[in-house]
C-alpha cells in the first residue's frame, strides 16, 4: 500500500472525543513507553514528524488520531511501563490507553515489543487481555537495527521463554532503516480491503 496522505486529526482522552468512526477499521499501536510507537507511525507514513517522538519515555500522553489516504485511521497511544513519571500521571495515561483498547471501535491492535528486551509483565498482560477478549492483534518487534542477525536469533530464543509465537505471525521493523515497513503496509492494505 502506498500512503499518499497522512493528516493529524485530533488528540483525545475520552471516547466521546474520538473522531467519528469510519467504515474502515482503525489501526492502533500499543506497547511500553519508548518502544517506538510514534517512530513506527512516522516510518509507515514516510513522515518524519507526524507523530511526536522522544528519547524521554512518556512523550505520547494522549490518543492521537491520524487519517490515512482519507480512508482509515492510525491511532498513536500512550505507552505503559515508564519509570520517571509521577504515579498519578502514569495512572491517567494508562487508563486513557486501556479505555481505548476496551472501546468498541472497530480496530486492529499492533502490540510493539522491543527486540532487545524480554517482554515485561505488562506486555504479557496486554497480550493475554487481547487474546481473552478475542481482539484482532499483531505483534511487531521494534528496533531490529540494534541487533545483528546472530544476536536477533539468540534474543528470539530468550523471548520465547516468555511468549509463544511463530516468526511468520509477527513483524520485525526498524524505524531507522525502515526494514520490515513494506510487510506491515501490505498487511494493513489487506485488512483495509477486507
Ligand X SMILES: Nc1nc2c(ncn2[C@@H]2O[C@H](COP(=O)(O)OP(=O)(O)OP(=O)(O)O)[C@@H](O)[C@H]2O)c(=O)[nH]1
Residues of this chain that interact with ligand X (CB under 6 A) are 31, 33-39, 53-55, 57-60, 78-79, 142-143, 145-146, 174-176
Among 25, 28, 38, 43, binds Mg ion (CB under 5 A): 38
**Which of ligand X, Mg ion, none binds 54 (CB below 5-8 Å, type-dependent)?**
ligand X
| Contact stretch for Mg ion (CB under 5 A) within 4-12, 32-40, 42-50, 161-169 | 32-40
CA 24, CA 192: separation in Å to the nearest integer?
6
Shortest spacing between CB 23 and ligand X, in angstroms = 28
CA 25, CA 43: separation in Å to the nearest integer?
20
Shortest spacing between CB 193 and ligand X, in angstroms = 27
CA 151, CA 170: separation in Å to the nearest integer?
18
143 binds Mg ion (CB under 5 A): no
Shortest spacing between CB 150 and Mg ion, in angstroms = 30
Question: Alpha helix locations (H) across the chain?
Answer: 37-45, 87-102, 121-132, 149-159, 181-193
Q: How far, CA to CA in Å, does 11 sit from each of 19, 76, 77, 114, 135?
A: 9, 9, 10, 25, 23
Shortest spacing between CB 63 and Mg ion, in angstroms = 11
| Contact stretch for Mg ion (CB under 5 A) within 22-30, 51-59, 85-93, 133-141 | 51-59
Asked if 80 and 32 touch (Cβ cutoff 8 Å), the reply is: yes
**In terms of Cα–Cα distance, which of 20, 111, 15, 13 is closest to 62?**
13
Shortest spacing between CB 89 and Mg ion, in angstroms = 15
59 binds Mg ion (CB under 5 A): yes
Residues at the site binding Mg ion, with contacts judged by CB under 5 A: 37-38, 59-60
Amino acid at each position: 500500500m502506498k500512503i499518499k496522505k497522512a493528516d493529524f486529526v485530533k488528540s483525545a482522552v475520552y471516547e466521546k472525543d474520538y473522531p467519528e468512526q469510519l467504515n474502515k477499521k482503525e489501526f492502533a499501536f500499543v506497547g511500553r513507553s519508548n518502544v517506538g510507537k510514534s517512530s513506527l507511525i512516522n516510518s509507515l507514513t514516510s513522515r518524519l514528524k507526524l507523530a511526536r517522538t522522544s528519547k524521554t519515555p512518556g512523550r505520547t500522553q494522549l490518543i492521537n488520531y491520524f487519517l490515512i489516504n482519507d480512508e482509515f485511521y492510525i491511532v498513536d497511544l500512550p505507552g505503559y511501563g515508564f519509570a520517571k513519571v509521577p504515579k498519578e500521571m502514569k495512572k491517567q495515561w494508562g487508563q486513557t490507553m486501556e479505555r481505548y483498547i476496551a472501546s468498541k471501535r472497530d480496530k486492529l491492535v499492533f502490540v510493539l515489543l522491543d527486540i532487545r528486551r524480554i517482554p515485561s509483565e505488562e506486555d504479557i498482560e496486554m497480550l493475554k487481555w487481547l487474546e481473552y477478549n478475542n481482539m484482532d492483534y499483531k505483534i511487531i518487534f521494534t528496533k531490529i537495527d540494534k541487533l545483528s542477525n546472530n544476536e536477533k536469533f539468540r534474543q528470539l530464543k530468550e523471548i520465547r521463554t516468555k511468549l509463544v509465537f511463530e516468526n511468520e505471525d509477527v513483524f520485525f521493523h526498524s524505524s531507522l532503516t525502515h526494514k520490515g515497513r513494506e510487510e506491515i503496509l501490505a498487511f494493513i492494505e489487506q485488512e483495509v480491503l477486507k
